[in-house]
Amino acid sequence: MATVTYDAATRLYPGSTRPAVDSLNLDIADGEFLVLVGPSGCGKSTSLRMLAGLEDVNAGRILIGDRDVTDVQPKDRDIAMVFQNYALYPHMSVADNMGFALKIAGKSKAEIRQRVEEAAKILDLTEYLDRKPKALSGGQRQRVAMGRAIVRQPQVFLMDEPLSNLDAKLRVQTRTQIASLQRRLGVTTVYVTHDQTEALTMGDRIAVLKDGLLQQVGTPRDMYDTPANVFVAGFIGSPAMNIGHFKVVNGAAQVGTASIPLTREAVAALTEADESQIQVGFRPESLDLVDASAEGAFPVSVDLVEELGSDAFVYGQLKGVPEADVSSGTTGDSQVIVRVDPRTVPTTGSTIYVRIRPGEQHNFSYATGLRLPS
């Protein structure tokens, strides 16, 4: 087992003027399950491949334990990687696929067989050891790829979107198995995904990347409750956080004819660059249905009600506010999402009044997007 350290690690592809990964500083503890998450092109897979030795590090360094592996060949880094497309040899049996790396390393047949059988038992693959990959389901193939990594007994597991080829139900089942397996083995794991639900449910900590820059690192609860900026706030959570920018008048954010109270700390943190405006975030579940006369209440015109059985979500517009002033997360649309009681949903076309629950409002600078005191 080992720690992993990115020390201002940078990757600049030839012909590009902007780094794919820009001065990444990240410390991963021994035995930790860390998830790198972000939209396509943010640098998460490049960061993983730099750690694997599959991409050059143009500046900075990468350490596994106390050992600088920046210029070490991939085969000498003591890591095992699980790929998105499984990368199994179709002409080999499951047992031969799982033990191939050990065979190349010159291990004895008895040791190979022992390690393969131990890994197969952990992964419920014992009865499939003599089958070829084509005779397996997608989930079973992914478990074989996991088994191939496990038998090597590496210091670090690297997983590059290993569930993206699975259907929705199997993806939920397999991510639970991977998280449980990692905690049982205690091997330091770096897991890449674009799916923030996977990140929230699997990781001990999450690192959010955007345009090659690290935005925030923290536990799933940290990311959800105290996002560091507007991007993290809109990216983490499903449905996404509602985020709007509003004029600040007399210590409150003006929402049409209504207003959202702001703390003195938030107002005091605004600068001239904010131009007396603020970005306010509130999650769908942070809104309560109230009477129109309630303090801090603002109107939402109901466009659509999405009923999911245990939950219901209202999609609507803030009344009296220009469409461009508010959106749900990073989608770029102008909808406001409200979670409501699924047994008493409002009708389409009606107007509801909602209020942000105390302590569940997120304030961000209009100019920088950084979090302000709430």
Look at the block and give the residue holding tokens 């943010």. Answer: 42
Domains of the chain, each with CATH number or no CATH: 4-233 (3.40.50.300), 234-372 (2.40.50.140)
Give alpha helix (H) positions in 105-137: 109-122
Residue 181 pLDDT = 87
Per DSSP, what are the bridge partners of residue 363?
A: 280, 372
Residue 20 pLDDT = 97
- Spatial separation of the C-alpha atoms in residues 309 and 158, rounded to whole Å: 37
Residue 324 pLDDT = 43
CB neighbours of residue 144 within 10 Å: 25
- The 3-state DSSP class for residue 273 equals helix
Given a cut of 50, the residues of the chain with pLDDT beneath it are 323-324, 330-332
246's CB contacts (< 8 A; 6+ apart) are 253, 254, 255, 260, 277, 278, 280, 321, 325
Between the alpha carbon of residue 66 and those of residues 41, 53, 62, 189, 347, the distances in Å are: 30, 17, 10, 17, 61
Please name the amino acid found at residue 254.
Q
- The model carries a pTM of 0.89
Residue 331 pLDDT = 45
CB 23 within 8 A of CB 59: yes
Residue 329 pLDDT = 55
- Spatial separation of the C-alpha atoms in residues 232 and 229, rounded to whole Å: 6
CA nearest neighbour of 158 among 344, 4, 312: 4
Per DSSP, what are the bridge partners of residue 207?
A: 36, 217
- Spatial separation of the C-alpha atoms in residues 94 and 135, rounded to whole Å: 10
Per DSSP, what are the bridge partners of residue 261?
A: 252
- Spatial separation of the C-alpha atoms in residues 343 and 123, rounded to whole Å: 42
- Spatial separation of the C-alpha atoms in residues 263 and 239, rounded to whole Å: 26
Please name the amino acid found at residue 231.
F
- Cis before 239 (ω within 30): yes
Residue 3 pLDDT = 96
Determine the number of helices (DSSP H) and then strands (DSSP E) in the chain: 9, 22
Residue 330 pLDDT = 45
CA nearest neighbour of 6 among 56, 55, 68: 68
Residue 176 pLDDT = 87
Residue 325 pLDDT = 59
> What backbone phi and psi angles, to 5 degrees, belong to 25?
-115, 115
- Spatial separation of the C-alpha atoms in residues 303 and 88, rounded to whole Å: 48
